[in-house]
Amino acid sequence: MPKLKIGLYWAAACGGCDVSVLDLHEKILKVAEAADILFWPIALDFKEKDVEAMPDGHMDVCFFNGAVRNSENEHMAKLLRKKSKVLVAFGSCSYLGGVPGLANFYQREDVLRTVYCGSPSTPNEKKTIPQEKTTEKVGELKIPAFYAQVKTLAQVVPVEYFLPGCPPAVEQVWAAVEAIVTGKLPKPPAVVGASDKALCDECPRKKGEKKIKQFRSVADTIPDPEICLLEQGIICCGPATRAGCGYRCIKANMPCRGCYGPTPGVIDQGAKMLSAVASVIDSSDPDEVEKIVAGIPDPAGTFYRFSLPDSLLRGVRVEEAK
């Protein structure tokens, strides 16, 4: 049986997805037995021209992690789509937009000013903002265009499979690799490496009737490790998030952040979580409800931490979103 030809690429993300592949440890040798890695810039010396030289559809599968934040990300997404038979949105950023997608709550200019002029660790007395084209003595210098909004991979090119997680759990990465090698993949498009159940369905914590009078942060309290975190007034995104991660955060006595994305049939993870929270508030008095809700730190950033670009909101309205 001929070996598979695979590629891996890192766009707008933190690098954790590539680390999750390395966390396969000795199993990565089994991957090498079954597949030839034709493109993985972070690990080996591959160039863009190497991909351009490939015939169309040459790679059997490409794992693309990271959102589309700039013109280089979009160019590589389209190039790798052209050169791959199967394209996998690997990790939350590629699948849903991820943490980089939270920038969609702000205008492009606001993001650039904050990063280059408002950061205390960035000396920039002239308040210089990067330009796509700059003329210097050596000639014209160009950098990728910084887009008005972050997009998911599927908003740029067709995608066969989505492997969620920030990063995907190692066991799920291996399960996805095995499915690809054996050809036991579901009909695309489909989410792989995750459950169709909500995380709450797999969470072993004790659950009773939820009646919340006050929301608390894990920074202000030590949660009871046996009781449902939401019942303790700690925002946990388990009701609106797919299972499949092995509830690692919960085991560490931390609430679910929602990185595995919405459960099947849910088109807006943040709205689903908002609905879950509203259903447990123990008051019918508008003033008291407002006070209770005010105790939720950064509601938009909490409920849409990983899924804003893929939500109904998408972000602030921009005149020319690229």
Rounded Cα gap, residues 269 and 271, in angstroms: 6
Residues 6+ apart with CB under 8 A from 3: 33, 34, 35, 36
Beta bridge partners of 161: 88, 190
Tokens of 172: 């799920």
- List, for residues 230-280, the tens digit of each pLDDT value: 999 999 999 999 999 999 999 999 999 999 999 999 999 999 999 999 999
Residues of the chain with CATH 3.40.50.700: 4-99+149-191
Residue 6, token pair as written in the block: 């695979």
Q: What is the CATH number of domain 4-99+149-191?
A: 3.40.50.700
Per-residue tens of pLDDT for the chain, all 322 residues: 688 999 999 999 999 999 999 888 888 888 888 899 999 998 888 899 999 999 999 999 999 999 999 999 999 999 999 999 999 999 999 999 999 999 999 999 999 999 999 989 999 999 999 999 999 889 999 999 999 999 999 999 999 999 999 999 988 888 888 888 888 889 999 999 999 999 999 999 999 988 999 999 888 889 999 999 999 999 999 999 999 999 999 999 999 999 999 999 999 999 999 999 999 999 989 999 999 999 998 999 999 999 999 999 999 887 654 4
Peptide bond between residue 167 and the one before it cis (omega within 30 degrees of 0): yes
Contact between residue 94 and residue 65 where contact means Cβ atoms under 8 Å apart: yes
